[in-house]
Amino acid sequence: MKLLARNLSRSTTEQDLRVLFSAHGTVTECNLVLDQETGKSKGFAFIEMPNEKEAKLALANLHETKVANNKIRVKIAQ
């Protein structure tokens, strides 16, 4: 299942996200979207979790939690 994490702090890294989501299950892929010109985070990322139950648990536990002073939003990616 692919999740979308939005409203991320510009200082949040892919490794930070892997650690955060791995606490709820297996993460097979984590893609922090970067601005092509500046190389800085655009504030959102896609996280791939193969186990649907774990992905839903991560979504339920992480949606609207504070990460690096930002309240992140997590939803199922379309």
Q: Is the pLDDT of residue 78 over 90?
A: no
Percent of all residues in the chain with a pLDDT value above 70, rounded to a whole number: 100
Q: Is the pLDDT of residue 61 over 90?
A: yes
What is each CA distance from 63 to 39, 42, 72, in whole angstroms?
A: 26, 18, 6
Tokens of 73: 């939003």
- SS3 readout for the chain: CEEEEECCCCCCCHHHHHHHHHCCCCCCEEEEEECCCCCCEEEEEEEECCCHHHHHHHHHHHCCCEECCEECEEEECC
Q: What is the pLDDT of residues 4-39, one digit of tens each?
A: 999 999 999 999 999 999 999 999 999 999 999 999
